[in-house]
Structure 1
Amino acid sequence: MSNTERQPEELDLNQKGEVNVICEGGADVEIITSREVPLGGPRAMMVRRTLPQRQRSLIGAWCFVDHYGPDDVSLSGGMDVAPHPHTGLQTVTWLFKGRVDHHDSGNIHAQVLPGEVNLMTAGAGICHSEVSTPETTVLHGAQLWTVLPEDARQGPRRFDHFAPHPHKFEGGQALVFLGKLLGQSSPVKTFTPLLGAELRLDPSAVLELEVNPTFEHGLLVDSGDIDLEGVKVNPTELAYTGTGETLLRIRNHGDTPALMLLIGGTPFEEDVVIWWNFIGRNHEEISRYRKEWEEHGERFGVTEGYVGKTPDGLHRLPAPALPNAAIKPRRNPAPQARPEERI
């Protein structure tokens, strides 16, 4: 998925971070609220973005979290993202409902289905397109990115697909699509230690999760009356817990099932510059990537198979203009949930 903001160097300053410790001995919890941004062309669908924020840019190597739907495609227009570039990252596509056609310059042509992870490794450079299928009436899911470390970011393109088996537990079920959780594991290759899982929790159920204490975690709530360690997490919010925790307690207080995504990983300590759809290490790299994309350079290749929803739409996304000032690396806070803080 592309970041199609026209001024991608700017971040919303009106976010808040909150910590409320209600469970005795439980983890501190920091709430990251979402902001709406448009995705796509003339009939852009709206997505809710929780990462990156000025409040916090990374959770482990997770650097980008867009959450969308459930959207009536007849009203929203669905997803239609023309070929666009990426460097230095992996895209992780996860659907709850609907279908999306994926085409990339690694000659991968795949259909993204609910409950099945599609992970695209950009390496040194790739371009791809994403379009919701004609038969999709409701589109609902999430698009996430992870940063590649120095020893992998100039590597080859790669595509992985995995359909995890549902793991049932008392009060719900999990689909573990990256890493390990609840005795389940994913075979999908990542370049830093990561966790990604869909969690469904029945009404009035409580889930006690044993987690890796070297990881920081984020719980994205899609639906349900949820609290994490006694801290209420509203739908569309991302609840953050820092390293050092071995147990996370999630409760569904409502009378309807809850749907969530849990992400995590070891803190990512390398300098990172994120601008538009590129991840690099300094302004000069980003400027070079932009120039190569605009000049149709070999780094990104060519995406075949894209068919947009509007005949007069863009066939390739142009890069926005660079900011006048040099883009600086993002400085992420320490991997601990922070006390009552408002930005």
Structure 2
Amino acid sequence: MSDLDVRPAARVCGGREEVAAQPVRELLKPRDVPLGESSVVRRLLPTLGRRMVGAWCFVDHYGPDDISDEPGMQVAPHPHIGLQTVSWLHAGEVLHRDSLGSAQVVRPRELGLMTAGRAIAHSEQSPGGHSAILHGAQLWVALPDAHRHTDPAFEHHAELPVVTSAGGLSATVILGELDGAASPGSTFTPIMGADLSLADGVDVAVPVEPDFEYAVLTMSGVTEVDGVRLDPGSMLYLGCGRRELPLRAYGNSALLLLGGEPFEEKLVMWWNFVGRTGDEIAQARREWAEGERFGAVPGYEGPSIPAPALPDLPLKPRGRTR
């Protein structure tokens, strides 16, 4: 899961200056970004004026795309530090390989969770004989300072807890907890993520934590979230202060509920790196370009993604401006 922008901007993330301590309804506008050889994603986080939701610091939504006559997702090996990646599918398959030697096909509503820690490299591809439709989300979770140099790791959880309601709601817990059900995925901050499926006409309230900030990404169908009607691919930032979140479905629909305790530490995020200083980011870029630190990705045929040039201005915190 990579940011393939050839001129990535350095972003300052974290801090509590723009965390809404009360419920809000802020619609986040996506922008189209190419991913690999043949895919385009809608980037929803970070965006102008909104950098994080809890520890969630990066959200891309892609598809549903017909790739029956195409190679599908083809993202060559690339590096990460200081974060976790979450691969989440509604349709299709993604073959994950990494420098630890992992080789795993991730399928719909299975959790592919990679902890980059101090350094890892990985690739993502639609496997041979892949399904005709590809639809999913790619997400990053920032690691707190106490854990950002941890050993890299990869987890695959094919079975995740599901919370259901008599009204027609089914919620798969991706990370953290929802309504007493806990995901087996490793976490390092108070965080939660859940995939909510709603049958046509569902009108329900989902329990949430008042100290967490939340956002909702509509994956498919039309939903009403706390009174705001959302089309597919829309993301609504909700702030903090709720104990329940009202949802209504117009036709069968699905959405991702992302939340967590506001991330207090300031971060510098550039390309595929999450660090604390510009020097740290520059060092990681240099070591990737020189073939050090991250290791090779066994089984991948082809070159790795080269690191883009650093921006002319120093990579340092400059405040969270709109």
Q: TM-score, normalised by structure 2?
A: 0.92
- Corresponding residue SS for 1:224: strand
Aligned to 1:304: 298
Contact 2:97 2:122 in 1 (8 A): yes
Percent identity, aligned pairs only, is 46
- 3-state SS, counterpart of residue 313 of structure 2: coil
Aligned to 2:315: 327
Q: Give me the whole-angstrom Cα distance separating, in 2, the residues matched to 1:10 and 1:187.
A: 33
Query: Are 1:35 and 2:31 counterparts?
Result: yes
Q: 1:204 to 1:66 in 2, by over 3 A?
A: same
State how far apart, in whole Å, the 1-side matches of 2:315 and 2:231 are.
Answer: 33
2:291 pairs with 1:315: no
Q: CA deviation at 1:82?
A: 0.6
Task: Structure 2: state its 5+ residue gaps.
Answer: 12-21
Residue 279 of structure 2 corresponds to: 284
> 1:165 and 1:271, CA in 2 relative to 1: closer, same or farther beyond 3 A?
closer
1:269 pairs with 256, 264, 285, which one? Answer: 264
Q: Distance in 2 between matches of 1:318 and 1:238?
A: 31
| 2-structure distance, mates of 1:77, 1:237 | 27
| Greater fraction of residues in strand | 2
- Distance in 2 between the 1:135 and 1:75 partners? 10
Between the aligned partners of 1:149 and 1:182, the Cα distance in structure 2 is 25
**Aligned partner letter, 2:113:** L
Structure 1 segments of 4+ aligned residues over 4 angstroms from their partners? 330-333
The partner residue of 1:144 within 133, 139, 149 is 139
Q: Secondary structure at the match of 1:321?
A: coil
Using the TM superposition, give the Cα deviation of residue 327 of structure 1 relative to its aligned residue in structure 2, in angstroms. Answer: 2.0
1:109 maps to what in 2? Answer: 103
**1:230 & 1:259 partners in 2: Cα distance?**
16
Cα distance, 1:75 vs. partner?
Answer: 5.5
**In 2, are the aligned partners of 1:272 and 1:330 still within 8 Å (CA)?**
no
CA distance in 1 between counterparts of 2:123 and 2:318 reads 27
* Residue 198 (str. 1) matches residue 195 (str. 2): yes
Whole-angstrom distance in 2 between the partners of 1:158 and 1:128: 11
SS at match of 2:287: helix
Query: 1:154 and 2:179 equivalent?
Result: no
1:3 partner letter: D
Counting only pairs closer than 5 Å after superposition, residues 171-186 of structure 1 correspond to structure 2 as: 171-186=168-183
The Cα of 1:171 is off from its aligned counterpart by 1.6
Q: What is the aligned partner in structure 2 of residue 215 from structure 1?
A: 212
Q: CA RMSD in A?
A: 1.7
Determine if contact 2:28/2:44 at 8 Å carries over to the other structure.
Answer: yes
1:257-303 C-alpha deviation (Å, 9 max, x unpaired): 01111111100111111111111111111111100000000x21111
CA contact 1:45–1:77 (8 Å) conserved in 2: no
Is contact 2:161–2:183 with CA below 8 Å preserved after alignment?
no
Aligned partners of 2:173 and 2:193 also within 8 Å: yes
Indicate which of 131, 152, 160 corresponds to 2:125.
Answer: 131
- Structure 1 residue 88 and structure 2 residue 73: aligned? no
Alignment length, in residue pairs?
Answer: 309
Give the deviation of 1:231 after TM superposition: 1.4
- 2-side partners of 1:301 and 1:157: how far apart? 12
